[in-house]
Structure 1
Amino acid sequence: MRNPKVAHRYAKSLLDLATERNEVDAVEKDMRLISSTIQESRDLELLLLSPVVKGDKKENILKALFGSHITEMTTGFIGIMTSKGREAVLAEVATHFLELTKKRKGILSAQVITATALTEEARAKINVIVSKLNSGGAVEIEESVDPAIVGGFVLKVEDKMIDASVLSQFRKLHREFDDDSYEAAL
């Protein structure tokens, strides 16, 4: 159940509360644990999404799973979410919370997709590009490899995208040739 608005509201409320209690770092650690655990366990994800399993049972499972590994505040927050029937968006809340904490710390997140693994030289150049977009501030770059782009790179920073891939250039040429303007010129 994807519901980014609800997840964002819960994440913002949790961040506000954690800030008020000066526990942002501890809750951030909890959210990283929760996010990675749900991503790695399809069974847990399906359990949280299941309308058949009651909320109190889900809460007990989450307490047993995370128990002493998370703070009291996060445990209470999970309790509130399950009592409101919002446990299905827990993974999204964790993701939004981590994004909000990065933003608050001035860290800019970016994704770079290349046809082959980045060399150190290419990684340094991309760091410079993204760092300029963040006025020299801290950056966090997620790298992935997709051989389908043939060459070049695709860089995504927040809502901006630079597509310097060979695949996109091929597509652009294909569209130009489909446009019959070349025949008219002859």
Structure 2
Amino acid sequence: MKNAVVAKRYAEALYSVAGKGGQADSVEQELAGILDVFKSHPELTNILEHPGISIDAKKKQVTELFKGRVSDLVLNFLNLLFDSRRQDALTDVYTAFVELSDAAKGRIKGEVESAVPLSDEELNELKSKLGANGQQVEFTTKVNPDLIGGLRVRIGDRVLDYSVSSQLNRFRQTLKY
């Protein structure tokens, strides 16, 4: 993140307003949609971040592009970002907004690496075992044959490594002494 502190402040302000209006979920979806538009049209991003184009012209372009497609709250927020010359922080604001939303709903996001693809049943069992204290766990999965067998689970800054390759490495280390 370029400026995580600034992005977090904007996200907190937006989440506060959206939460009071019961719009947090829709705002999250609208921000994701806006970012998808920017990703699929990089020339638009270049125009909106170009220093030679006036802020008013950028705001007019954004309003024309998204009016009727997103809520007034999100459109006003985008204009606020432009007024503050923080339009380049939109991706970071979205990431911070999603983190706030997840925390409020008791959701935890993680990543599961396995040597072979996991079945839905195995993933559900893993979610139920790791979802303590009423928290809901959502995983992205990744297949990594280098693990040989077992799993490596990342949740936040915690890593649970139950892979065969790491066990072999630990065993190799004990044999060195």
TM-score by length of 2: 0.81
Q: Which residues in structure 2 correspond to 1:19-98 (within 5 Å)?
A: 19-44=19-44, 51=51, 54-98=54-98
State the SS of the aligned residue for 2:22: coil
Deviations 1:69-113 (A, max 9, x none): 211011000111111111111011112111211211122222212
Deviation of 1:25 after TM superposition, in Å, equals 2.9
Instruction: Give 2:154's aligned residue.
Output: 156
How many aligned positions are there?
177
Partner-residue secondary structure (3-state), 1:70: coil
Call closer, same or farther: CA 1:123–1:56 in 2, change over 3 Å.
same
Give the TM-score normalised by structure 1. Answer: 0.78
The residue matched to 1:164 in structure 2 has which SS?
strand
1:25-54 deviation per Cα after TM superposition (whole angstroms, max 9, x unaligned) = 321221232344445555555555555555
The 3-state SS of whatever aligns with 2:16 is helix
Q: For 1:102-117, list aligned pairs within 5 A.
A: 102-117=102-117
* Cα offset, 1:118, TM superposition: 1.0
Q: Percent identity?
A: 27
| Partners of 2:78 and 2:87 within 8 A in 1 | yes
Stretch deviating more after TM superposition (143-152 or 168-177):
168-177
Larger deviation: 76-85 or 107-116? 107-116
Give the 3-state SS of the residue equivalent to 2:131 in structure 1. helix
Kindly indicate whether the alpha-carbon contact (under 8 Å) linking 2:106 and 2:134 is maintained by their aligned counterparts in 1.
Answer: no
Asked if 1:122 corresponds to 2:106, the answer is no
Instruction: Tell me the secondary structure at the aligned position of residue 68 of structure 1.
Output: coil
Classify 1:114/1:49 alpha carbon distance in 2 versus 1 (closer, same or farther; 3 Å). Answer: farther
Superposition RMSD in Å? 2.7
Render the CA deviation track for 1:123-154: whole Å, top value 9, x for unaligned: 1221122212xx13322222222333333222
Tell me which moved more, 10-19 or 109-118: 109-118
- Alignment partner, residue 166 of structure 2: 168
CA distance in 2, matches of 1:50, 1:13: 26
Q: Which runs of 5+ in 1 are unaligned?
A: 182-186
For residues 150 and 60 of structure 1, what CA distance do their matches in structure 2 show?
55
